[in-house]
Amino acid sequence: MTVAQPNAVGSPGYAAEVPCVRDSVGLARAFISQVLAVWGMDDDVTGWGKIIVTELLANAVEHTETPVSRIHIERPSNGAIRIGVSDRSHDAPHLKTADLNAESGRGLSLVAAMSSQWGYDMHSWGKDTWAVVETPVGRER
């Protein structure tokens, strides 16, 4: 995993590049946990962040042929974190209604339920899928 330094200007943030394979989900979760610990976030916020990055990276692994994904986390304000996963696909993510017996297809629904907003930004090189989690004031450790 290649880890970038904090942003010098703008929102504080960190980024890491991981191979776009299922085995990288654990690396992504550990990365998010480490950043949220540095920021002093409580266990609930850390849990939400780990689930969100798991689902976003799993979507990149499942639905793209990207060799490397970029995981990034920013803190646009004291009351919010923004987690994103970048890939080289130009296919827009979309919410599905999974069959009750389906073993998959609920990832973005989980992301939508756990975040105050989610979305994606298209770029010439691919897309960035992201989610914002509101962190109640005083939830820091």
pLDDT digits (tens, 9 = 90+) for 47-91: 999 999 999 999 999 989 999 999 999 998 888 999 999 999 999
Each domain of the chain, given as residue ranges in start order, spans 5-134
- pLDDT band for position 7 (50/70/90)? very low
Say how far apart CA 85 and CA 131 lie, in whole Å.
9
Tell me what pLDDT residue 98 has.
57
For 25: left if phi > 0, alpha if psi spans -120 to 50, otherwise beta; the answer is alpha
What is the CATH number assigned to the segment(s) 5-134? Answer: 3.30.565.10
**Which pLDDT score is estimated for 139?**
46
Q: What is the pLDDT of residues 19-35, one digit of tens each?
A: 999 999 999 999 999 99
Helix (H) or strand (E) holding 118: strand 117-123
Which helix (H) or strand (E) segment holds residue 95: the answer is none
Per-residue confidence band for 104, with pLDDT thresholds at 50, 70 and 90? low
pLDDT at 56: 96
Q: What is the pLDDT of residue 9?
A: 43
